[in-house]
């Protein structure tokens, strides 16, 4: 891990982001805290290579979109 990364400062920042998100009513994209993960599952997809969060619906599954605040460290991200 990066020795210059301030863990405590970023923990406080993430807590603030989640609190602000919970206090505001936004209907565009739900946050992970507002989403029912009990019945959802991740599904691997070959094209494009990815994992998708799926929720059972009548007649099949539906892909879900949600936002998660966090910090990525030492992770390779795609170029697009």
Give the pLDDT score at 49: 86
Give the pLDDT score at 74: 63
Could you read off the pLDDT of 31-64 as tens digits, one per residue? 776 677 788 888 988 888 888 889 888 888 888 8
Give the pLDDT score at 51: 86
Helical segments of the chain, H only: 7-23
List phi, psi (to 5°) of 55. -125, 135
The H or E element that residue 50 is part of is: strand 50-57
Task: Write out the DSSP string of 63-80.
Answer: E---B------S------
Give the pLDDT score at 77: 64
Could you read off the pLDDT of 2-34 as tens digits, one per residue? 678 888 998 898 888 888 877 666 667 777 766
């Amino acid at each position: 891990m990066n020795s210059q990364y301030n863990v405590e400062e970023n923990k406080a920042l993430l807590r603030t982001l989640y609190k602000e998100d919970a206090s505001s009513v936004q209907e565009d994209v739900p946050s992970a805290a507002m989403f029912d993960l009990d019945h959802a599952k991740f599904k691997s997809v070959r094209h494009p290579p990815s994992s998708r969060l799926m929720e059972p619906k009548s007649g099949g599954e539906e892909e879900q979109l949600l936002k998660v605040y966090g910090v990525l460290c030492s992770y390779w991200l795609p170029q697009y």
